[in-house]
Structure 1
Amino acid sequence: MRLQPAGHILGSAYVEFEAEHAGSKRRVVFSGDLGAPYTPLLPAPQSPLAADIVVIESTYGDRTHESRKNRRERLQALCEHAFGNGGCLLVPAFSIGRTQELLYELEDIIHRNASRPAAAGLAWRELDIIVDSPLAADFTRGYRNLAPHWDAEARKRVDSGRHPLAFEQLTTVADHAAHLKMVDRLARSGRPAIVIAASGMCAGGRIVNYLKAMLGDPRHDVLFCGYQAAGTPGRAIQTYGPRGGHVDLDGQRFQIRAAIHTLGGYSAHADQKDLLNFIGRMRSPPSQVRIVHGDDAAKHTLAGLLRQRHPAMEVVIP
């Protein structure tokens, strides 16, 4: 068995193994969660040389992500739009991977635009960026400690004296009492800030208290930059928020008056093109591909494209 970098989060891997069956050896690959090739901080995953069977994820089997440059520009534009209303930008994000990628991108935006206004009377270098998640703070420290395993671009930033995950504008919130004070202060103050808090799908965690306090206030904005599964509060806010609908949180109903945005390209998962390349770039492609871990539409779209590109390949949706 061999583990190869998957580029999903720092340290994630896909699995290759050889197994003997009926007197013959077969090489099987389990992709696990594959990362996108231009994910900040992480080296891009490389396809295996060969396999007989590949079990591959399909989270984004039916769509492609925005380019990294476009998503950074859109992130900056969304921030500046949100701050123009005198409110906060709430970003539900998973503690591992997504939070660190967002911090990396925000440090770059601040570096490029330090003296430019993020809002009236507030320069980018004075903007508060708040990580309100003990787990995210712990993993961010872990990412910093593992800087030798970052990709070449991130190591170059460090060598130039920058600190992509520990910059001056960054504040972390530790205990629960400090969290409640932060929610109250930001809900009342009208001072622009970016709040990154778990959970990524709003199904729990500290982001829920921010949403309860701010969803009903049109000064504030919510930015989704990751997949929202059906049945989660995040999906409900994403779907019904733009229509002025409501969402149920902890058994209570909250009207959505905050602006709701979705920014593609920040998913930690490979997109359709990346998944096809993972198979297509193998020197000896598999005779069978099994497609798992995705919505039905994503699975079937990816299966159709694989059958079209590789007519001799058996493509199975278990």
Structure 2
Amino acid sequence: MINIKHHGATTGVTGSCHELVLDNNTSVLIDCGMFQGAEASGAESDNLKLDFPVTSVKALFITHCHIDHVGRIPSLMAAGFNGPVYVSKATARLLPLVLEDALKIGVTRNTTLIRQFLNLLSQQIQPVEYKQWYPVESVEGLRFRFKPAGHILGSAYIEFECSVDDKKEIILFSGDLGAPYAPLLPAPQAPWRADRLIIESTYGDKLHENRRNRRKQLENIITHCLKDAGTVLIPAFSIGRTQELLYELEDIIHRQKGSAWENIDVIVDSPLAAKFTQHYRELSTLWDAEAKTRKQHGRHPLAFEQLITIDSHSQHLKLVNYLKSSGRPAIVIAASGMCAGGRIVNYLKALLPDPRTEVLFVGYQAKGTPGHDIQKYGPTGGYVHLDNEKIDIRAGVYTISGYSAHADQKDLINFVKRMRFKPKEIRIVHGDKEAKQVLKGELKKITPETEIIIP
């Protein structure tokens, strides 16, 4: 019988890595992500290690290129994996950028070694079209299909059709599913059927605010900042969240012509995010209908007049000091999304003690990350440790959950409910313990005959 093993995303929301085992000598991997926050066990080196043999792994499938889904690929290749890496065409463009950045930050700055790895990766990457069935190289009785997941550019959920003993079984890995009505990307469509489903549960116990409300919140928070003459800091993931925010900010500025909004600087201080934004612009054929219409009307949702990109580290340090001393109103979007590194840390160290500052979280903050601590203790005037320094939090701290690129509980349930033929087995991964338990209970109501497992 075909077996499924989980090598991550079972105790939290990072380290996604699942193995579809066809027999003792043949398996394929779905994602190979890095552990982050408390799930990394504290030691930086641990989050890159593999705790499973790779001798039977014939192929790797990538749902999307967030680091918690791809960060251990270098370790996988170092362990001897040399099979095909199947990705969507957009992911094929983004993945080398993500892994190059991850290697520079967490492994080595040796450009020769990094270039060698990227050259090897390019030989193994096999881009595929959405919605088409493909055979798996060197694996009999297995074919697959990518479908848009609406999470970030290039994201997919993956259907496997396994033929064993004249029986066909559809096994579906959701990856991370996007939220309907999110900016820029079309919502994922539920499949016709799945015999077994491995589904994420990041927001399995929560409902997002609707888009109109969260856009109004975004507008209100930044209007408050304009009055205070301070800086709004938005820790954002380089892929997905940054581009969605730029899209929404362009629309607010467009509707606020003649107001102070026209003079506010929108700063993206992340070379990686700037590169991804360029790819988002170039791949506008993957945008949803609303975004395409704006472009046809001559608007530039990801390249508007107030948008400023900071490239060099020296420019970055100058800007941090300038904002600290001047109090000029500005919106700064910088990585990392959970404040665990990257340029956002320097802004936080300089500006968290300033009551004119506002910190706006628009994405999930995993336990054990500085972002989670700021989110939890900031509203009561607490503190956070950044680079081993104790930083008092006098800034305002806000959270807009709706800007998560993840489906919420209702969306996850609808993904299953809208299947014509429901799964016989559902495995719930990629979520905190409570989120998984709550989602299990809700799914049981709509699929009482299904075996629901929390690995």
Counterpart mapping for 1:65-104 below 5 A: 65-104=208-247
Work out which of the residue numbers 219, 226, 230 in structure 1 matches 2:356. 219
> Equivalents in 2 of 1:115, 1:71: separation in Å?
23
Number of the residue aligned with 1:137:
274
Work out which of the residue numbers 287, 307, 320 in structure 2 matches 1:150. 287
Q: Which runs of 5+ in 2 are unaligned?
A: 1-143
Q: Which runs of 5+ in 1 are unaligned?
A: 117-122
Aligned-residue sequence identity (percent) comes to: 63
> Equivalents in 2 of 1:83, 1:223: separation in Å?
14
3-state DSSP of counterpart to 2:180? coil
Q: Note the aligned Cα RMSD (angstroms).
A: 0.8
3-state DSSP of counterpart to 2:403? coil
Work out which of the residue numbers 288, 294, 300 in structure 2 matches 1:163. 300
AA aligned to 2:350 is A
3-state DSSP of counterpart to 1:242? helix
> Equivalents in 1 of 2:291, 2:166: separation in Å?
47
Contact 1:83 1:89 in 2 (8 A): no
- Residue 21 of structure 1, CA deviation: 3.6
> Equivalents in 1 of 2:445, 2:400: separation in Å?
30
- Residue 19 of structure 1, CA deviation: 1.0
Number of the residue aligned with 2:264:
127
> Equivalents in 1 of 2:445, 2:193: separation in Å?
20
AA aligned to 1:108 is D
CA displacement, residues 109-139 of structure 1 (integer Å, 9 cap, x when unaligned): 00011212xxxxxx11111000000000000
> Equivalents in 2 of 1:306, 1:127: separation in Å?
45
TM-score (norm 1): 0.97
Number of the residue aligned with 1:243:
380
Number of the residue aligned with 1:207:
344
Contact 1:114 1:124 in 2 (8 A): yes
- Correspondence 1:281 to 2:424: no
> Equivalents in 2 of 1:112, 1:16: separation in Å?
42
> Equivalents in 1 of 2:209, 2:401: separation in Å?
6
> Equivalents in 2 of 1:86, 1:52: separation in Å?
56
3-state DSSP of counterpart to 1:265? helix
3-state DSSP of counterpart to 1:84? helix
- Residue 24 of structure 1, CA deviation: 2.0
Number of the residue aligned with 2:249:
106
- Residue 23 of structure 1, CA deviation: 4.3
Pairs aligned (count): 312
> Equivalents in 1 of 2:207, 2:165: separation in Å?
40
> Equivalents in 2 of 1:61, 1:153: separation in Å?
28
> Equivalents in 2 of 1:4, 1:262: separation in Å?
31
- Correspondence 1:302 to 2:445: no
> Equivalents in 1 of 2:205, 2:155: separation in Å?
23
CA displacement, residues 13-57 of structure 1 (integer Å, 9 cap, x when unaligned): 000011134542211000001000111110110011011000000
Q: Which moved more, 1:188-197 or 1:80-89?
A: 80-89
Number of the residue aligned with 1:30:
173
3-state DSSP of counterpart to 2:228? coil
- Residue 83 of structure 1, CA deviation: 2.1
